[in-house]
Every structure is written in C-alpha cells, then in structure tokens.
Amino acid sequence: MREYEIQVGGLPHTVLLSDAEASERGLKPITKAASPPLNKARSRTRNKEA
C-alpha cells in the first residue's frame, strides 16, 4: 500500500492504494521531499552565575 494523490471535486485528496489499483487508474506514488538539514548554529548560552 502506498499513498497517492487524487483530485475530487477540484480538491487534492491522499488515498492508500495497492500498486495494482494505482496502475489501473494511472496514478503515480507521492514522493516525499528530503527533510532540510538541521540548523547547526550555536545555541545561546546562559550566564550561570546569575
């Protein structure tokens, strides 16, 4: 089972279909974009004396 996006009444909907059903309807699976890299900036340090 994979996620596929279909249009119903002009609105996008996500459905789970088997590969056989999706190929009958001519759908392509949704590919998820790679997550952006984490911010490697240094975090703010606190003054521990206060």
pLDDT tens digit sequence for 1-50: 888 988 999 999 999 999 999 999 998 888 877 777 777 776 667 776 65
Cβ pair 32, 11 in contact under 8 A: no
pTM over 0.75: no
CA distance readout (Å), 1 to 11, 15, 19, 46: 22, 10, 7, 49
Q: Terminus-to-terminus CA distance in the chain, angstroms?
A: 56
How far, in Å, CA of 21 to CA of 16, rounded?
Answer: 10
**What local confidence, expressed as pLDDT, does residue 50 receive?**
56
Domain ranges of the chain: 1-31
**What local confidence, expressed as pLDDT, does residue 36 receive?**
73
